[in-house]
Amino acid sequence: MPKRARGALSLLVGVALVATVAAACGTTSENAGGGPAEPKPCGGAGGKYTIGVSQANVAEPYRERMDADIRQAAAGVPQFTVNFADAQQDNSKQVEQVENFLTQKIDLLIISPNEATPLTSVVKKAYEQGVPVLVLDRKVNGDSFTSFIGADNFDIGRKAGEFVAQTLLPGGGRVAEIKGLSGSSPAKERSDGFKLGIGGRNIEIVASADGDWLRDRGRQQADALLKGTPGIQVVYAHNDPMGEGAYLAAQDAGLSGIKIVGIDGLPIEAGGIKAVEAGRLAATFVYPTGGKEAVEAARKILVDCQQVPKVQGLPIERVTPENAAEVYARLNAGS
């Protein structure tokens, strides 16, 4: 390595470094003193409204269903045009897409954030420009949004834990946990909630692994857990597809007595409710998408010129073989 080259390289390193820090220091804060949103005057029933939907990742069945729910509900409101964007599980891409929506001057933003913190500032920006923002499923930080609509991941984990403790293993027992994608907030919350739910009942989580929310990863991990850890009675999967994977692994290992509990309970053919009905899952818990409720809130804000509550918690429902058919029919009513 010649001296000059080394010099140039260290120059590059040095200047890049200085640029990062120095550029950051000599600027004025753009959002300083941004007050609460000055809402645009409400257009009422005579107006036409464009709604931007920023979805974290359409590749997940749950979020695909959320978009479908929004699409279907919005079809019933003639004033609405809905544009969808898919961030493909990428925080940066989602920020970019919300900025594009703002460039398009949408009338209302519906966003299901990939993660809370990274999306907070762009949501705040939209809100401060007077665009009503409905946040679905995952909250952003602070209170710079119009309304949050969603269920609670910690709570749904707790309910799953209580079900295991009270119904499946009343005398205590051994549980394996197939977790969602490591580093994602619902995986952590569904895990923490579950631990609270089974607390003090002599139930032990004897093994756990990351299934990345995917059916095939869930199966692969369950394969190993069931072979490596004897005496597992219940598998708790952070979502239904991983639960289905665990079911396949249990069948494969000849362990048909193992009970599997999933989460999400999507009311679709390939969803968890049908799996419960068919006996592959012992139970699942409906984590509602909030799509219908979001369009309803949008209608209230834009067409009816009304206020909506800041937080709209959605109920979690337990699905067991007894009520599976009924829940499925009810959630698909009107579609």
When the beta carbons of 23 and 333 are compared against other proteins, the nearer one is 23
Instruction: Give the count of beta carbons closer than 10 Å to the beta carbon of residue 232.
Output: 23
Q: Does 126 bind other proteins (CB under 8 A)?
A: no
Please, are residues 263 and 160 in contact by the beta-carbon 8 Å criterion?
yes
x/- string (CB under 8 A) for other proteins, residues 171-210?
A: ----------xxxxx-xx----------------------
x/- string (CB under 8 A) for other proteins, residues 135-174?
A: ------x---------------------------------
Phi-psi region of 140 (alpha: psi -120 to 50; beta: other; left: phi over 0): beta
Please, are residues 177 and 194 in contact by the beta-carbon 8 Å criterion?
yes
Q: Does 115 bind other proteins (CB under 8 A)?
A: yes
Binding residues among 37-66 for other proteins as defined by CB under 8 A: 58
- Provide the b/e sequence for 25-57 (b: ≥16 CB within 10 Å): eeeeeeeeeeeebeeeeeeeeeeebebbbbbbb
When the beta carbons of 187 and 276 are compared against other proteins, the nearer one is 187
Q: Does 11 bind other proteins (CB under 8 A)?
A: yes
Residue type for 59, please? A
Measuring CA to CA, how many Å separate 180 from each of 116, 208, 210, 273? 17, 11, 6, 19
When the beta carbons of 97 and 147 are compared against other proteins, the nearer one is 97
Smallest gap, in angstroms, from Cβ of residue 206 to other proteins?
19
Smallest gap, in angstroms, from Cβ of residue 248 to other proteins?
26
Stretch that binds other proteins, among 28-36, 148-156, 219-227, 280-288 (CB under 8 A): 28-36
**Residue 57 token pair:** 């990742």
Helix (H, G, I), strand (E, B) or coil at 245: helix
The correct pick among 33, 35, 103, 254 for binding other proteins (CB under 8 A) is 103
Q: Does 1 bind other proteins (CB under 8 A)?
A: yes
Please, are residues 176 and 229 in contact by the beta-carbon 8 Å criterion?
yes
Q: Does 33 bind other proteins (CB under 8 A)?
A: no
The correct pick among 88, 129, 208, 220 for binding other proteins (CB under 8 A) is 88
Q: Does 27 bind other proteins (CB under 8 A)?
A: yes
The correct pick among 12, 75, 270, 329 for binding other proteins (CB under 8 A) is 12
Instruction: Give the count of beta carbons closer than 10 Å to the beta carbon of residue 233.
Output: 18
